[in-house]
């Protein structure tokens, strides 16, 4: 069985590709990072007077309230809002 020059070149390229992939995978660092030691959280005092149970609106509430172009059921369990900057 004899190979043509083009078949030999293709076989050589495939072997080189396999070797490059194997070397790349072998030289990759491990996937398990060292565990970090937990740092204690110290509470800080808030500045200013504390007001009782005042509900502050979330970003999602503010954006959904100002959006005028809806598609679908307004009472759906999931709301998707897309932000775009077309500059």
pLDDT of 1 above 60: no
Residue 57 makes CB contacts below 8 A (sequence gap 6+) with 65
Quick one: 64 exposed, middle or buried, by C-beta within 10 A (0-12, 13-18, 19+)? middle
CA distance 59 to 61: 5
Q: Is residue 73 part of a domain?
A: yes
Mean pLDDT of the chain: 77
Q: Is residue 72 part of a domain?
A: yes
Give percent above pLDDT 90 in the chain: 14
Q: Is residue 10 part of a domain?
A: no
CA distance 12 to 28: 25
Structural domain of residue 66, as residue ranges? 58-82
Domain count, the chain: 1
Q: Is residue 37 part of a domain?
A: no
Q: Is residue 14 part of a domain?
A: no
DSSP state of 53: S
Total-model pTM: 0.33
Q: Is residue 2 part of a domain?
A: no
Q: Is residue 44 part of a domain?
A: no
pLDDT of 25 above 90: no
Q: Is residue 40 part of a domain?
A: no
């Amino acid at each position: 069985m004899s190979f043509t020059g083009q078949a030999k070149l293709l076989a050589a390229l495939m072997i080189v590709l396999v070797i490059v992939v194997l070397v790349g995978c072998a030289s990759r660092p491990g996937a398990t990072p060292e565990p970090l030691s937990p740092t204690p959280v110290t509470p800080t005092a808030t500045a200013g007077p504390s007001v009782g149970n005042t509900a502050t609106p979330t970003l999602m509430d503010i954006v959904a309230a100002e959006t005028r172009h809806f598609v679908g059921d307004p009472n759906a369990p999931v709301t998707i809002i897309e932000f775009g900057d077309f500059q």
